[in-house]
A = this chain, B = another copy of it.
Amino acid sequence: MKLTSEQDAFGHAVWDHYRGRNAFEIIERSDGFVAVTSGPSQYLADVALWSPDEKKALEKHAHGRVVDIGCSAGRHALYLQRNGLDVLGVDVSPLAIAVAKDRGLEHAEVLSIDELSADLGLFDTILMLGNNFGLFGSAAKARRLLGRFKKLTRPGATLIAESRNVYQTGDPDHLAYQAANRARGRMSGQIRMRGRYKRLVTPWFDYLMVSPQEMETLLEGTGWRVAELYQGGGVVYVAVIERTA
C-alpha cells in the first residue's frame, strides 16, 4: 500500500513535529487497544538518542549500497549518507518522504516493501530498523519477500532488522491478543493495527513482531540466516541477517 494524504497519519505527525508543532502518534490495534507511541520524535531523533543496538549494528554491518525500508523521516538513511554510503530511503508515507528529502536525503521514494524491484538496482544492505521487521506482515509474506530480496541484492548482502520479543510482557491485554492470534493460526506477534493522528487514519495493516527464536525458524530455507543479535535493549533487539545463497 501507499498512503493517500488522508491516510497518511504517520507522515502528518512527522511533518508537524518537524515543523515544530506538537505532534503525537496513536496506534489502534484490532481489539480496540490504543496506545500513544514516541513515534514522531523518535523518527526524527538524532543519533545520540538512538538505541545503542541500532547504532552498533549500523556502524559494524551497513556496507555498500543501502536501501532503508520504512525510512520515515530518514534518520538512519541520513546517518549512513553522511558516512559516505549510497542510500535509498523508501516509505509508504508521502509526507515522511518529503521530510526526509527536506532534511537532505538524496535518494528517497514513496514505495512499499512490496514494490521493491530490480529496476532500483542491486543493494548490499537492507535496513528494517525501528521495529520494521514488522513490515513483513506475516510469516508467509516474510518468506516470499526474503526470496525476492535475494534478487535485489548482491552476494554477501546483509539485512539489518529490528523486532520485539512479544513474549516478554505481563500485560494481560497483550497476552490475550497473542492467544487469540495463535487460536486463529496467526503468529503471536502478528499485530493488526492502524495509525491515527487527528482525523487521519491509515488502513489496517499487519505488523509482525517475533522472538529471536521465531525469527530463526522463519528464516529457515529462505537463503538468509541470523548472523548476530544485538539484544542490549531487552525486549527490542536488532538482528544482523546474512544472505547465504
Is residue A18 within 8 Å, beta carbon to beta carbon, of the partner chain?
A: no
Chain A interface, DSSP helix/strand/loop, else mixed: strand
Q: How many residues in A have their beta carbons less than 8 Å from beta carbons of B?
A: 14
Taking a contact as CB atoms closer than 8 A, the residue among B173, B198, B201 that contacts A199 in the complex is B173
- The chain B residue with its CB closest to the CB of A176 is B199
Taking a contact as CB atoms closer than 8 A, the residue among B24, B33, B198, B201 that contacts A198 in the complex is B33
| Contact between A26 and B36, CB atoms less than 8 A apart | yes
B residues near A59, Cβ cutoff 8 Å:
none
A34 to B35: give the CA distance in the assembly, Å.
12
| Contact between A198 and B36, CB atoms less than 8 A apart | no
B residues near A199, Cβ cutoff 8 Å:
31-34, 173
A201 to B28: give the CA distance in the assembly, Å.
12
A51 to B29: give the CA distance in the assembly, Å.
35
- Quick one: copies of this chain in the complex? 2
Is residue A196 within 8 Å, beta carbon to beta carbon, of the partner chain?
A: yes
- The chain B residue with its CB closest to the CB of A197 is B34
Give chain B nearest CB distance to A181 CB in angstroms.
Answer: 15
Interface flags, A192-213, vs B, CB<8A=1, else 0: 0000111101000000000000
A157 to B68: give the CA distance in the assembly, Å.
65
Interface flags, A1-35, vs B, CB<8A=1, else 0: 00000000000000000000000101000011111
| Contact between A34 and B173, CB atoms less than 8 A apart | no
Interface centre among A35, A173, A199 (most CB of B within 10 A): A199
Interface centre among A34, A196, A197, A198 (most CB of B within 10 A): A34
Per the 8 Å Cβ criterion, residues 153-211 of A in contact with B are: 173, 196-199, 201
A201 to B198: give the CA distance in the assembly, Å.
18
B residues near A34, Cβ cutoff 8 Å:
26, 196-199
A201 to B33: give the CA distance in the assembly, Å.
9
B residues near A35, Cβ cutoff 8 Å:
24, 198
5 closest residue pairs by CB, A with B? A24-B36, A33-B199, A34-B196, A32-B199, A36-B36
**4 further interface pairs, Cβ-Cβ under 8 Å (given A24-B36, A34-B199):** A24-B35, A31-B199, A32-B201, A34-B196
